[in-house]
Amino acid sequence: MSGLAMPKPDAETLRRRAEIVADMRIIVPGEGVVDTANEMRAFESDGLTAYRQLPLVVVLPETVAQVSRVLKYCNDRNIRVVPRGSGTSLSGGALPLEDAVLLVMSRFNRILAIDYPNRIVVAQPGVTNLGITNAVEQDGFYYAPDPSSQIACSIGGNVAENSGGVHCLKYGLTANNVLGIEMVLMNGEVMRLGGSHLDQEGYDLLGVMTGSEGLLGVVTEVTVRILKKPETARALLIGFPTSEEGGQCVADIIGAGIIPGGMEMMDRPAIHAAEDFVHAGYPLDVEALLIVELDGPSVEVDHLIGLVEAIAYRNGSSTCRISQSEQERLSFWAGRKAAFPAVGRISPDYYCMDGTIPRKELPRVLAGMRDLSEKYGLGVANVFHAGDGNLHPLILYDANVPGELDKAENFGADILRLCVEVGGVLTGEHGVGVEKRDLMPEMFNQIDLDQQMRVKCAFDPNHLLNPGKVFPQLRRCAELGRMHVHRGQVAFPDIPRF
């Protein structure tokens, strides 16, 4: 990996590896401990495949008690732990460490309860995102957040990453669809946050756990809200001569009070790659292609289709198709859903970015990206969750050409800097992980980062859980806790008072 510094492996832990493996076998008997290099190879990276590292040992617990004992054992002996769900993270959140136990939650794969009157499902964390929908769809229900890895990614991982998907604008992120969790702290303490009621008492620990990238606790059970499937869905496929017109169309749809179930945009390179791959019938003479999906009762969908069509026309759309059948709707999506593999066909490798921007800045950011593309001599294709401003630039490169991975990474970092510059953020849904760790100072100053790390200190004061992720530089909790002001040294504030 290009110049990424991970925490220095602890020599004492490495030296005691055999003993640790033996102790893990006592805590998790049977097939639950994997320690040969060959077998551990399957776990050496996650979805960010540029980075690989074999762990100290892989442990696959089956019970909450085992998770608690593994964590307590490691906490007591100062051994690091990296939690892992399905390993689909695109930011290296589950990248192993040489001296860390890799705690794999995949054997927690059961649905524990389906409760239709309260519209909740209680699942173990290793159940896949789609597995939840599969369990309830025969009764007309589904789980709304739908990251594109939903066939493989686990619900526990979704909590860790606060996963999104194409339906976030209308239905929210993971954080808005999880009612409760059970989790284990690094010291082995098991606790419940929330439950089957709608709001949590006390501090919103559930809110801070969601999206904490496996640094605060290990999730052992998840309670999610399920929704009744919309009666119907239809989509419009709208082409524009410029991205400005496409962007304005999106703004006007929302300005008209319409929140579509999904609203996706692709730029010219992405349109062409997708069309070449799946022949979805996309227009090739447009700069921006917008898919607007409306869901709900047919009477509502039909009504809104008319409104959106008119808005598109007013904004200079050059083509506008409206799905007349479920098959046609799916064909509109086929190209978008295949965009990543389609780009994979035209380039040996691609690097997927994940910034979010205020939507109105789209033309400026696209123009900036074209300039950067020229500067680095690498192509870029864009797919864009247009409703919520989440941009996925795909940088095209060839890992076999020396220096191109570095170039792609630098290009990506510049794109993210541009996102922050226009009022956006480094990551919309893929997480910071190791990938964007060193860019955190672009968005946060040291005080901001220190306060985030202090939250970490309340959960894991020894920085043993998933270290080396999210924070560019770890500071010891004792040092972070120190206060540097003393009585009499700060003047009585000179502000209005009564």
Partner 1 sequence: MTIFTPSSSAEILSTTQWAAAEESPLEILGHGSKRGIGRPLQTEHTLDLSKLTGVTLYEPAELVLSARAGTPLAEIEQLLAENGQQFAFEPMDYGPLLGGEPGQGGKNGTIGGVLATNLSGPRRLKAGAARDHILGVAAVSGRGEAFKSGGRVVKNVTGYDLSKLMANSWGTLAVLTDVTFKVLPAAETEVTLAVRGLLDEAAVAAMALALGSSAEVSSAAHLPERIALKVAGGKHGSDAATLLRVEGFGPSVVYRVEALKQLLGKAGPLEEIAGEASKAIWRDIRDCRPFADGGAQPVWRVSMAPSEAHHMVMALRMQAAVDAFYDWQGGLVWLSMREDDPEAELLRRLIRKHGGGHATLVRASAPHRAALPVFEPQPPHLAALSARLKVEFDPKNILNPGRMAPGAGSATLA
Closest separation in Å from C-beta 162 to partner 1: 5
- CB nearer to partner 1: pick between 11 and 485: 485
Choice between 33 and 226, CB closer to partner 1: 226
Asked if 28 and 66 count as a contact pair (C-beta separation under 8 A), the reply is yes
Contact positions with partner 1 (CB under 8 A) in 288-307? 296-297, 299-300, 303-304
DSSP letter assigned to residue 19: H
Tell me how far, at minimum, the Cβ of 114 lies from partner 1, in Å: 12
- Name the one residue in this structure whose structure tokens are 């669809």: 177
Q: Which residues pair with 270 in a beta bridge?
A: none
Q: How far is the CB of 480 from partner 1 (least distance, A)?
A: 8
Distance CA 319, CA 335 (A): 16
The residue among 428 and 468 lying less far from partner 1, judged by its C-beta, is 428
Give me the amino acid identity at 38. Answer: N
CB atoms within 10 A of CB 14: 12
Is residue 393 a contact point for partner 1 (CB under 8 A)? no
* Contact set for partner 1, span 125-144 (CB under 8 A): 140
412 part of the interface to partner 1, by CB under 8 A: no
Count the neighbouring beta carbons within 10 Å of the beta carbon of residue 486: 7
CA dist 235 and 251 (Å) reads 17
Residues 222 to 251 in contact with partner 1, rule: CB under 8 A: 228-231, 251
Residue 252 interacts with partner 1 (CB under 8 A): yes or no: yes
Nearer Cβ to partner 1, position 38 or 489? 489
Nearest to 310 by CA among 386, 258, 362, 388: 258
The residues in 450-469 that bind partner 1, with binding defined as CB under 8 A, are: 450-452, 454-459
CB of 341 to partner 1, least distance (A): 23
Q: Which DSSP category does 425 fall into?
A: B
Task: Decide: is 15 part of the binding site for partner 1 (CB under 8 A).
Answer: no
Contact yes or no for 125/220 (Cβ under 8 A): yes
Which DSSP string corresponds to 327-345? HHHHHHHHHHHTHHHHHHH
Nearer to partner 1, 341 or 481 (CB): 481
| Per CB under 8 A, 347 contacts partner 1 | no
Residue 488 interacting with partner 1 (CB under 8 A): yes
Q: How far is the CB of 321 from partner 1 (least distance, A)?
A: 23
Structural tokens at position 111: 């649905």
Backbone torsions φ then ψ of 180, nearest 5 degrees: -165, 155
Q: Kindly state whether residue 221 participates in binding partner 1, applying the rule CB under 8 A.
A: no
Provide the strand spans (E) within 319-417. 319-322, 349-352, 380-385, 390-397
Which residues are CB-contacts of 446 (< 8 A; sequence separation ≥ 6)?
none
- Which of 359, 392, 407, 469 touches partner 1 (CB under 8 A)? 359
Stretch that binds partner 1, among 8-16, 170-178, 262-270, 318-326 (CB under 8 A): 170-178
Is the distance from CB of 280 to CB of 332 less than 8 angstroms?
Answer: yes
Whole-number Å distance between alpha carbons of 330 and 317:
21
In the complex, what is the shortest distance from the CB of residue 175 to partner 1, in angstroms, rounded to a whole number?
Answer: 7
Using rule CB under 8 A, residue 444 touches partner 1: yes
380 forms part of the interface with partner 1 (CB under 8 A):
no
- Burial of 255: CB neighbours in 10 Å, binned 0-12, 13-18, 19+: exposed
For residues 182 and 217, the answer to whether their CB atoms sit within 8 Å is no
Instruction: Compare residues 13 and 427 and give the one whose CB is closer to partner 1.
Output: 427
In the region spanning residues 70 to 129, those forming contacts with partner 1, defined by CB under 8 A, are: 115-120
* 438 near partner 1, rule: CB under 8 A: no
Stretch that binds partner 1, among 130-138, 233-241, 358-366, 402-410 (CB under 8 A): 358-366
**Residue among 97, 104, 130, 185 that touches partner 1 (CB under 8 A):** 185
Please enumerate in sequence order all residues whose Cβ is within 8 A of that of 473, keeping only pairs 6 or more positions apart, or say none: none
In the bound state with partner 1, the residue whose beta carbon lies nearer, of 195 and 379, is 195
Q: Which of residues 310-339 bind partner 1 (CB under 8 A)?
A: none
Verify binding: residue 3, partner 1, rule CB under 8 A.
no
